[in-house]
Amino acid sequence: MQSFTIKRIITFTFVLLTLGGVISCSVNRFIPEGESLYTGSEIEMTSEEKAKDLKDVENELNALLGVQPNSKTLGMYLGLYYHYKAQNEKPGFITKWLNKKIGEEPIYLSNINPERVEELLLNRLDNRGFFYSKVQSSIDSVKKFKGITYDITLTEPYLLENFQLRKDSLPIYDEIQELLAETEIKRGNRFDLNVMKFERERIDRELKQRGYYNFNPDFLIFEADTNRYDNRKFDLVLRLKNQTPKKSIVPYEIDSITVYPNYSIENDSTDFRDGVTENGIHFIQKNDYFRPDRLEPYILFGKGQKYNAETARLTSNRLSAIGSYKFVNIRFNEKDSLNTADGIAALDADIYLSPLTKRSVRAELQAVTKSNGFAGPGISLTYSNRNLFRGGETLSLSGNFAYATQISGGTNAGLSTLSAGLKADLILPRLVPFSPSRFRYAVPKTKISLGGDLLDRGKLYTLNSVNVSFGYTWNANKYVFHELNPISVNYVNLLNSTEAFEAILDQNPFLRQSFEQQFIAGLTYSFAYNELVDKDKTHPIYLATSLDVAVNTLNLLNGGKETAFGLEYAQYAKLDLDFRYYLKWGKEQALITRLYGGWGIPYGNSSTLPFVKQFFSGGPYSVRAFQIRSLGPGSFSSTDDVGSSSFFDQSGNLRLEANLEYRFPIWSYLKGAVFADAGNVWLTNEIELSPDESEESRAFNEELSEKGRFGSDWASELGVGVGLGLRVDVQSFVIRLDVASPWRVPYLPDSERSRVPFFDGGDTNLTFNFAIGYPF
């Protein structure tokens, strides 16, 4: 089999190379007489002296080379070829279609102006301190295909000797002198206009935080003096331009603040009534739309304070984050009081807030796929009331109903589910019951939730649950998010258990114990650091962790009893960590590495984690070469002697996973991926064996304990798979189809665990995963 595969690869490669040569030759005959196809430019750079950061300089110079040559795929000018073919009198439907999709007009050498590129390169070298360098271009010719080489000889760069601020008695010079303590312009630095431009913009930003409302970076000028006795040294002076307007060099104070909480853009309406004043801020609104005492804490600047552009930006962000407004506009108006005795001018601040629709109803028809392999139709209905108590509160009432059948769960295929739920969320844009807090970056929110769910798996059981939580969410900055729920209560009740499911529980007391933990009360905390929000980052990372603790509070309140409200309550601690690294390049190409680890420890009342808190492995968001929840624990694989489903058995309290995925564009909204996954779950605690257990049950648990325990050979028990994926990505809505094949199968004997993906394994060598959204 392997020999046959190698032959096919060699044959396929030979065909591609032959096809590339044929198409390249075919393109050659289309090139007009007197023209040569441009094959690209390159830079060859030599330096008289060793200089720093030459790689960065070379990258900048490469960006100036201008027009890119026609693209090649596996050595073939496919786009150019079909462009030429489409110019025929009768090109044919397929040729016209391919030309429309991938065709490229030819780029000839005559389209390139080497002399102009030389000028650009020399100018950029001067800007980077390499004065009097030399650039010479030459044409590399191969028949009708020609490229250009730019030979660059760098001179020794000019280095900074002295840097000073030329100042007079104006107060703004004292401010600038303070800011220069943090400058990046240091003695010994190479002459660099980019650094000077950055320094002007940095000073401008800092001055705008010190009241200089009308300042502009163009008012600053750098003067370089290269006429020194030292060879290749220069002095640098920073000063204000002579014609800088007077109003640009004086600070401004806020003289008044007026807020319009119910502003209408359509009517441009502001004159409702006299309004009220709260802590020096004047509120003018119609029908008291928003309580002034609730709105005032979101405004970070006050009367008598100096203008600060950063504070104004943060105030706008905070007002937008309340959730009641679709538009927030802060306008500063200069007052005619420039020549004040203390040299400070005045601004009036007007804040216009345009509300969102107060009430809304949203209905959704859904096609649902879940991580446990269930898929089917559903419907949800959501009612929202914004600004419920005139303090930015949002009430959401939602209901859902869905039918699903398990389409990819091994022996579970055909298992159907009916689910229904009701949920109420009240979100308050402040900390309750604490006093208003001036979190500068964003508004902390208090969230109160109450919900109930009913799950009917007709062949097995009915499960209903009630969830109550009280907690807080907030963004510490652009990248960091926190969520803390000091109160989290979950009551689960198992009803209508069928004989088939009872047989599963009788065989597996470990599973029965996990379902008996009906009452879960504790706290949860989540933290996320997400650089993906910055679209310009080429190496973003994502780090998330969550802590779930069923605390001893109930034990203390009940005097050490093991029940609350007549129900046995769970006691455990659970922690997980998810780390991802993204390497992006080109057009929508990325290599993603992900590491995940999770560990749960039962204690006190609990010998196992509650079933809903256990870890599972396998499926479209995990190790994709294995069916839903079919991995582990360890090398264990449950049997199905009573016609039961392994879905309920293969879980653990420790989970480790690693993923590697390369994503690339194919055409328009269609994307592709190549990936490798590894992972499993294990048990870390002893399984309690009851003296009155049946022999069958005891044998099952002994095998589970032996094969499922985490040990020193855990690496050999990893399930490993590789695969390919297709994704339809329309404005971040992703429909995903992955096909994967196992490389290592941990529940097989040691000598049989490794296999050749896509070839070994017979009917079990392929796993298809259909899902919504990217796996990570």
pLDDT at 293 over 80: yes
**φ and ψ at residue 551, rounded to 5 degrees:** -85, 170
Residue 387 lies in a domain: no
pLDDT for residue 12: 43
Asked if 230 and 263 sit in the same domain, the reply is no
Mean pLDDT, to the nearest integer, of 502-512? Answer: 71
pLDDT at 510 over 60: yes
Domain containing 327 equals 252-355
pLDDT for residue 390: 92
CATH number for the domain harbouring residue 64: 3.10.20.310
Q: pLDDT confidence of 204, banded at 50, 70, 90?
A: very high
Residue 762 lies in a domain: yes
pLDDT for residue 213: 95
For 98-112, b where at least 16 C-beta lie within 10 A, e where not — what string?
A: bbeebbbebbbbeeb
Is the dihedral angle over the CA atoms 229, 233, 235, 241 positive or is it negative? positive
Q: Assess whether the previous peptide bond of 746 is cis (omega < 30° from 0).
A: no
Asked if 138 and 9 sit in the same domain, the reply is yes
Q: Taking a C-beta distance cutoff of 8 angstroms, is the pair 519, 565 a contact?
A: yes
- Eight-state DSSP code of residue 68: P
Asked if 146 and 236 sit in the same domain, the reply is no
Q: Worst-scoring range by mean pLDDT, 129-143, 370-384, 610-624? A: 370-384
Q: Which two tokens stand for residue 188?
A: 């010994």
Q: Among residues 96, 128, 154, which one ends one of the domains?
A: 154
- CB count in 10 Å sphere of residue 754: 13
Residue 617 lies in a domain: yes
Residue 625 DSSP SS3: coil
pTM: 0.75
pLDDT tens-digit readout, 640-698: 443 334 445 588 999 999 999 999 988 888 899 999 999 999 999 877 666 666 777 77
First vs last C-alpha separation in the chain: 34
Q: Among residues 248, 266, 301, which one ends one of the domains?
A: 248
Asked if 150 and 189 sit in the same domain, the reply is no
Asked if 278 and 192 sit in the same domain, the reply is no
Q: Among residues 355, 381, 396, which one ends one of the domains?
A: 355
pLDDT at 21 over 50: no
Q: Taking a C-beta distance cutoff of 8 angstroms, is the pair 219, 200 a contact?
A: no
Asked if 233 and 84 sit in the same domain, the reply is no
The CA distance from 69 to 25, in Å, is 17
Residue 649 lies in a domain: yes
Most confident of 221-235, 348-362, 685-699: 348-362
The CA distance from 385 to 323, in Å, is 11
Mean pLDDT of the chain: 84
Mean pLDDT, to the nearest integer, of 694-717? Answer: 84
Proportion of the chain above pLDDT 90, given as a percent: 44
Asked if 92 and 219 sit in the same domain, the reply is no
pLDDT tens-digit readout, 26-58: 788 888 888 888 988 999 988 866 666 788 888
pLDDT at 553 over 90: no
pLDDT at 110 over 50: yes
Residues whose CB falls within 8 Å of the CB of residue 196, separated by 6 or more in sequence, listed in order: 185, 222
pLDDT for residue 644: 39
Q: Taking a C-beta distance cutoff of 8 angstroms, is the pair 109, 139 a contact?
A: yes
Alpha carbon distances (Å) from 216 to 163, 166, 207, 243: 22, 18, 9, 13
Mean pLDDT, to the nearest integer, of 474-483? Answer: 92
Asked if 125 and 225 sit in the same domain, the reply is no
Mean pLDDT, to the nearest integer, of 325-336? Answer: 92
Alpha carbon distances (Å) from 701 to 504, 601, 636, 696, 730: 12, 19, 11, 9, 48
Q: Worst-scoring range by mean pLDDT, 8-17, 161-170, 223-232, 550-559? A: 8-17
DSSP 729-763: EETTEEEEEEEEEEEE-TTS-GGGSB--TTTTTGG
Q: How many domains does the chain have?
A: 4
Tokens 């935080």 belong to residue: 209
